A and B are shown apart, each in its own frame.
Chain A
Amino acid sequence: MATQHSRAAARFMIAPSVVLLLAWMLIPLGMTIYFSFLRYNLLMPGANPFVGWENYSYFLTDPAFQTAIVNTLLLVGGVLVITIAGGIALAVLLDQPMWGTGIVRIMVISPFFVMPTVSALVWKNMFMNPVNGLFAYLADVIGVQPYDFLTQAPLASIIGIVSWQWLPFATLILLTAMQSLDSEQLEAAEMDGASAWSRFYHIKLPHLARAITVVVLIQTIFLLSIFAEILVTTNGGPGTASTNLTYLVYAESLLRFDVGTGSAGGVVAIILANIVAIFLMRMIGKNLDA
């Protein structure tokens, strides 16, 4: 099949889509890098002079930057821990034969279908609102002071909301992995005298290792750029308590109208995301081999 000739033809034919995709990625990236070296503020129209690294030094020395880095990592890490632990627990439960499995599965998966803005608004107004929210009502019932989640623990609340959204994804991937486990292996372990916990720890968990890796990699990519949930709930506040890197870039370019610094932040975010990706691939990517 793959003769010299047919391979050349194949390359020639995929060239247009490759060129298109490259342009699709390279032009925005090039423009972001270009803007990051300009003094480009929408409030000061006129010339946009080249300023070298000024935008970068401005962005990196901003006190909000460090907070944003820490918040980003806490957000990603917190959601990963909750969704993986919860996902494994739910996968184990849903793997059991029981009545109404189909309906329960659909219900477990449904949060994934809700748009991020909508789910954040629902959580903000119907659950976490200190006056009208369900949690405030429950606090009222048992006679304690309602807790103002988004003011007193803004980052933790956002972690909670985002975890709720991503738990179905983790559950789905882990459940399918669980179902691919050969039942004879579990029976063999049972004959070998393994208790239910040992079977989980020695057989099921190692079997899930690859699926867990997939969940961690995919979720990290999406969680690094969480934005909508922050925008509609806390606006990054109070202060910068729930500002992550994405939100900081947004604040620079669209709240302070400083496109130059915003672009510099964007470039910094790309670099940091790549560093995280390299670390992740080093740490857990080996699970994907073989």
Chain B
Amino acid sequence: MGRITLEKVRKSFGETQVIPPLDLTIEDGEFVVFVGPSGCGKSTLLRLIAGLEDVSGGEIRIDGRPATDLPPAKRGLAMVFQSYALYPHMTVRKNIAFPLKMAGMSEDEKKSRVERAADVLNLTDFLDRRPGQLSGGQRQRVAIGRAIVREPAAFLFDEPLSNLDAALRVGMRLEISELHERLKTTMIYVTHDQVEAMTMADKIVVLRKGNIEQVGSPLDLYRNPRNRFVAEFIGSPKMNIVEGAEAGRHDAHAIGIRPEHIDVGEGPWEGKVGVSEHLGSDTFFHVHETGLADVLTVRAPGEVNHRAGDKIRLSPQLDKLHRFDRDGLRIT
């Protein structure tokens, strides 16, 4: 079980308020991702839940029981750190067994649990090595192993993949998702990478300056962003924002249209091609001199050739257009 509720949780460091009063419920078994630009308070929020920072106000409940004043070890949560935080002088086996040793578990129980965790994470061959002899991905798995042996109510991940190279990151992303499928334990995952958020989450919490901008499923956020910040943050490449006369024609202060929702060929908009990025499956054009915005990013499916300087016509898919008012809120 791992249902976590935050009620009016606040955090300030001295005078500066990092997290204004905030309410959030994380259901049992959910994979929740906190996402936002750096400095948005997502790591602080995670550390508040972990108990590594004290809240300045409000209440945290884990499975209905108040946990606000509990020390980290008593909350029944396990955390995977960005730097992995493995104990360098211990073997992998001892690293994974450390929380069990601290809990005073018997040797037999310890051994069987460590071996089960090692089995799940494909670490059996490395149990007698030290962290220094492992690759980044293996260290990451040891850190996860140390978390799962405790059978916690929830896992907390603090940007666990940011120290890995791109290829490994994709692999580990999948492994963590599969682990969640298997364990069905609540997971809270902090990242600044919206791709990680979109691919892994059941529920995404978008944060800006400590405020929750929107909570919802990945596709919900993609289709119905509540405001311009969420609209621009979710989706890759970023949504195009057009202000001025063209927005006025749609009765809005600004309109947003994603690169994948603009068709190349015929249409009302015209511009000059700048840089093209050929990915094989898709081609992204940066289009200038449209009179709408500095640059529009456009996705064309497949291999489409336009040279720099070519004039092309564009047509936005009107049903996929987002309209925003003066305060940045989306008009529905």
Which residues from chain A sit less than 8 Å from chain B, CB to CB? 182, 184-185, 187-195, 198, 202-203, 206-207, 209, 290
Residues of A within 8 A of B52 (CB): 187, 190-191
Quick one: given A185-B85, A185-B87, are A191 and B103 in contact (CB under 8 Å)?
no
| B311 → A minimal CB distance (Å) | 54
Interface CB pairs A-B, < 8 A, 25 = A182-B83, A184-B81, A184-B83, A185-B85, A185-B86, A187-B52, A187-B72, A187-B79, A187-B81, A188-B86, A190-B71, A191-B52, A191-B99, A192-B73, A192-B98, A192-B102, A193-B73, A193-B102, A194-B102, A198-B102, A202-B87, A203-B87, A206-B90, A207-B88, A209-B89
Residues of A within 8 A of B90 (CB): 206
| A264 → B minimal CB distance (Å) | 46
Is the beta-carbon distance between B72 and A184 smaller than 8 angstroms? no
Quick one: given A207-B89, A290-B132, are A190 and B72 in contact (CB under 8 Å)?
yes
Is the beta-carbon distance between A190 and B73 smaller than 8 angstroms? yes
Judge if B77 is at the interface, Cβ distance under 8 Å. Answer: yes
**Chain B, residue nearest A207 (CB):** B89
Per-residue contact bits, chain B 80-96, to A (CB 8 Å; 1 contact, 0 not): 01110111111000000
Quick one: given A185-B87, A203-B87, are A191 and B98 in contact (CB under 8 Å)?
no
Residues of A within 8 A of B87 (CB): 185, 188-189, 202-203, 206
**Chain A, residue nearest B98 (CB):** A192
Quick one: given A193-B103, A194-B102, A290-B132, are A188 and B73 in contact (CB under 8 Å)?
no
Residues of B within 8 A of A192 (CB): 73, 98-99, 102, 146, 150
Quick one: given A202-B87, A203-B87, A290-B132, are A191 and B82 in contact (CB under 8 Å)?
no
Judge if B50 is at the interface, Cβ distance under 8 Å. Answer: yes
Question: Knowing that A184-B81, A191-B78, A192-B102 are A-B contacts, what are 18 other residue pairs whose CB atoms are under 8 Å apart, sorted by A's residue number?
Answer: A182-B83, A184-B85, A185-B85, A185-B86, A187-B52, A187-B79, A188-B79, A188-B81, A188-B85, A188-B87, A188-B146, A191-B50, A191-B52, A191-B77, A191-B79, A195-B102, A198-B102, A203-B87
Residues of B within 8 A of A206 (CB): 87, 89-90
Task: Report the 4 A-B pairs with minimum CB-CB distance, sorted nearest first.
Answer: A193-B73, A188-B85, A192-B99, A184-B85
Residues of A within 8 A of B146 (CB): 188, 192
CA distance A190 to B75 in the complex (A): 11
| B84 → A minimal CB distance (Å) | 8
The interface size of chain B toward A, counting residues with CB under 8 Å, comes to: 24
Is the beta-carbon distance between A182 and B85 smaller than 8 angstroms? yes
**Chain B, residue nearest A290 (CB):** B132
Per-residue contact bits, chain B 88-125, to A (CB 8 Å; 1 contact, 0 not): 11100000001100110000000000000000000000
| B254 → A minimal CB distance (Å) | 41
Residues of A within 8 A of B81 (CB): 184, 187-188
Residues of A within 8 A of B88 (CB): 207
Is the beta-carbon distance between A191 and B132 smaller than 8 angstroms? no
Partner of A189, one of B71, B77, B82, B98: B98
Is the beta-carbon distance between B82 and A184 smaller than 8 angstroms? yes
Residues of B within 8 A of A190 (CB): 52, 71-73
B window 142-168: CB within 8 A of A: 146, 150
**Chain A, residue nearest B146 (CB):** A192
Residues of A within 8 A of B103 (CB): 193
Is the beta-carbon distance between B72 and A191 smaller than 8 angstroms? yes
CA distance A192 to B77 in the complex (A): 9
Residues of B within 8 A of A182 (CB): 83, 85
Partner of A191, one of B73, B83, B86: B73
**Chain B, residue nearest A194 (CB):** B102
| B140 → A minimal CB distance (Å) | 13
Residues of B within 8 A of A188 (CB): 79, 81, 85-87, 146
